[in-house]
Amino acid sequence: MPQDSPSHKPRTQGGRRPYHAVLMLGLVLSGSVWADDAEKARTIVAKICAACHGMDGNGTAPNFPKLAGRHPEYLVRELKEFSSGKRKSEIMGPIATALDPDDYKALGAYFGGQKPTSGQVLDTAAAASGKQLYQDGNESKGIPACGGCHEADGSGNKRFPRLAGQHREYLIAQMYNFKKDVRSDASSRLMREVAKLLSDDEIKAVAEFLTGL
Amino acid sequence: MKGTIVKRMIKIGLIALLWPLSPPAQAQAPATAIGGAPVWNELKGEKLEALRLKGDPARGAEAFVICQGCHKHGATGTVSGAYPRLAGQHATVLIEQMTDIRSGERKNPKMERFSDEHVLTTQEIADIAAYLQALPITPNLGRGPGTALARGKALYTRDCAICHGDRGEGKAEKFYPLVAGQHFKYLLREARFIRDGKRGNANPDMARVIKSYSDDDLEAVSDYMSGMATP
């Protein structure tokens, strides 16, 4: 057991070198684990998610949401809610259940790290009134400003999803899911109440505005 | 009849027994309704629970995000008076109002629908109150027209200062709100509600005091309060 023999002690310089070695090894390992996670996430995305959401999270099918730039914690929460059935989706329910929950975090980080794209505004008048509703709400109807939770620029945060640049069709569909209590999970309570206060035109207008962000 | 008296005596006995435990540190309980008349701001249920909880301002900041759609960043409220400024308000008052709106005691349909327990837990109510109480106040955002300040001051000094304080600072332990520098239009709206019996959880003493106030009186006193220097 030469490594325990006193003759090796001087080489450790008071024990500092082994400490550094352990630290370096730790850094290298954690770095490679991180790289592994990212690589694994990329593989899963290519195999499972990309068909609908796009490899870069900016899928072009308007009925599937863009995920690029969403907060990783929000993405993880939604995957959990899909797999537990709290958020009901015939498509995402089985997919989230089939995924390994240990991979949720890496998937969240992957999509969160993708660069989000903007959509094209088609109805500028609707977008203008949508902008006002998004930023100021409607005091006489008691509609809160959307930006209060989703951020002024629609970039979202860990609790509230990014809306900027999202497909208008997806936004509108989700607003009706809130309005009609399809999204019935407890955490969506506030959005259900907001959606019930919005008219069809107001829903369209806000979606039009957000698409262009 | 006899049963009712016995029940009432048991109730009083229980209140007497629990009394040393019940008042929360930051609030005094109002008189108990031994005579059966409804008591203003009775400290029970969720209100009492929230008052006893320790509010955490950092958690409160996060929980308050859902309120910003109306009350705005920094809890400034809106000059239109649709939403009051909440920054700097006493935590006790905020807890009282949030729980009263949630229970429907204060009639505020705009906010009630967003005050569901799934939106806001009792702990979050305490947290938000702690956060808002410590928030810096942006002074006098929504002043009144300034046309009847002398009349407003005279009314305020005569009728309001005894509870809301000479400087409009309110009194936390008595649940009297800070009114200095609040939006004029909000003060006026609520004063009308209180006078006309539409607020739901108004202090009956205040309703009595301003019962004879004309609309002009309410405007004058709201004008004066909205211009008072904020703490």
Selected residue with higher pLDDT from B16 and A89: A89
Residue A3 has a pLDDT of: 44
Residue B95 falls inside a structural domain: yes
Q: Report yes or no: A39 and A47 within 8 Å, Cβ to Cβ.
A: no
Q: Report yes or no: A38 and A84 within 8 Å, Cβ to Cβ.
A: no
**pLDDT tens figures, B67-123:** 999 999 999 999 999 999 999 999 999 999 999 999 999 999 999 999 988 899 999
Residue A30 has a pLDDT of: 55
Q: In this structure, what are the phi and psi dihedrals at residue A138, rounded to the nearest 5 degrees? A: -135, 105
Residue B48 falls inside a structural domain: yes
What is the pLDDT of chain A when averaged over all its residues? 89
Residue partners of A100: CB distance under 8 A and separation at least 6: none
B20: confidence class by pLDDT, cuts 50, 70, 90: very low
Q: Is the pLDDT of residue A165 over 90?
A: yes
User: A109: closest CA among A210, A7, A37?
Assistant: A37
Average pLDDT over residues A17-43: 69
Residue B122 falls inside a structural domain: yes
Q: Do A190 and B111 touch (CB under 8 A)?
A: no
Least confident of A109-123, A137-151, B38-52: B38-52
**pLDDT tens figures, A169-194:** 999 999 999 999 999 988 889 999 99
Q: Do A145 and B113 touch (CB under 8 A)?
A: no
Q: Report yes or no: B137 and B88 within 8 Å, Cβ to Cβ.
A: yes
Average pLDDT over residues A25-43: 73
Distance CA B202, CA B205 (A): 8
Which one of B62, B66, B115, B186 makes the best mutation probe of the A interface by having the most chain A beta carbons within 10 Å?
B66
- A105 vs chain B: nearest CA distance in angstroms? 22
Residue B31 falls inside a structural domain: no
- Spell B11-24 as b/e; 16+ CB within 10 A means b: eeeeeeeeeeeeeb
Distance CA A150, CA A171 (A): 13
User: A118: closest CA among A208, A49, A42?
Assistant: A208
Q: Is the pLDDT of residue B6 over 80?
A: no
Q: Do A145 and B69 touch (CB under 8 A)?
A: yes
Average pLDDT over residues A136-164: 97
- A149–chain B Cβ distance below 8 A for any pair: yes
Q: Report yes or no: A18 and A12 within 8 Å, Cβ to Cβ.
A: yes
Residue ranges covered by each domain of chain A: 28-112, 124-211
Last residue of one domain, picked from the residues B105, B137, B169: B137
Asked whether residue B127 falls in the same domain as residue B171, the answer is no
Element (H, E) at A196: helix A189-197
Measured from the Cβ of residue B72, the count of other Cβ atoms closer than 10 Å reads 21
Residue A47 has a pLDDT of: 97
Q: Is the pTM of this model over 0.80?
A: yes
Average pLDDT over residues A63-78: 98
Q: Decide if A28-112 and A124-211 have a common fold.
A: yes
Q: Report yes or no: B198 and B107 within 8 Å, Cβ to Cβ.
A: yes
Asked whether residue B164 falls in the same domain as residue B210, the answer is yes
The minimal CB distance from A193 to the residues B73, B80, B113 is found for B113
Residue B33 has a pLDDT of: 47
Q: pLDDT exceeding 90 applies to what percent of chain B? A: 80
Residues of A in contact with B111 (CB under 8 A): 142
Asked whether residue B161 falls in the same domain as residue B191, the answer is yes
Residue B169 has a pLDDT of: 98
Q: Is A56 helix (H, G, I), strand (E, B) or coil?
A: coil
Q: Is the pLDDT of residue B55 over 80?
A: yes
Q: Tokens in use for A155?
A: 């970039």
Residue B12 falls inside a structural domain: no
Domain count, chain B: 2
User: B187: closest CA among B149, B143, B128, B137?
Assistant: B143
Last residue of one domain, picked from the residues B137, B158, B191: B137
Q: Do B66 and A139 touch (CB under 8 A)?
A: no
B211: confidence class by pLDDT, cuts 50, 70, 90: very high
- A143 vs chain B: nearest CA distance in angstroms? 8
Residue B118 has a pLDDT of: 85
Q: Tokens in use for B148?
A: 């009847």
Asked whether residue B159 falls in the same domain as residue B130, the answer is no
User: B26: closest CA among B85, B80, B92?
Assistant: B92
Asked whether residue B53 falls in the same domain as residue B122, the answer is yes
- A148–chain B Cβ distance below 8 A for any pair: yes
Q: Report yes or no: B73 and B84 within 8 Å, Cβ to Cβ.
A: no
Residue A187 has a pLDDT of: 80
Q: Report yes or no: A186 and A175 within 8 Å, Cβ to Cβ.
A: no
Residue B191 falls inside a structural domain: yes
Please provide the CATH number assigned to the domain covering A124-211.
Answer: 1.10.760.10
Residue B39 has a pLDDT of: 85
Q: Tokens in use for B29?
A: 């309980």
- A28-112: CATH class: mainly alpha
Asked whether residue B58 falls in the same domain as residue B83, the answer is yes
Residue B37 falls inside a structural domain: no
Q: Is A179 helix (H, G, I), strand (E, B) or coil?
A: helix
Asked whether residue B96 falls in the same domain as residue B128, the answer is yes
Asked whether residue B163 falls in the same domain as residue B116, the answer is no
Distance CA B45, CA B156 (A): 34
Asked whether residue B52 falls in the same domain as residue B133, the answer is yes
Residue B11 falls inside a structural domain: no
Reported ipTM: the value is 0.81
Range of the domain at B178: 149-227
Q: Report yes or no: B48 and B175 within 8 Å, Cβ to Cβ.
A: no
Q: Report yes or no: A55 and A45 within 8 Å, Cβ to Cβ.
A: yes
Last residue of one domain, picked from the residues B137, B168, B194: B137
Residue A24 has a pLDDT of: 61
Residue B66 has a pLDDT of: 95
Average pLDDT over residues B172-199: 98
Which one of A81, A86, A139 makes the best mutation probe of the B interface by having the most chain B beta carbons within 10 Å?
A139
User: How many interface pairs between A and B have CB atoms less than 8 angstroms apart?
Assistant: 49
**pLDDT tens figures, B27-54:** 555 544 455 556 899 999 999 999 999 9
Distance CA A99, CA A97 (A): 5
- Per-window interface: B 106-165 vs A, CB < 8 A: 109-111, 113-114, 116, 118-119
User: A79: closest CA among A98, A66, A60, A57?
Assistant: A98
CATH number at residue B164: 1.10.760.10
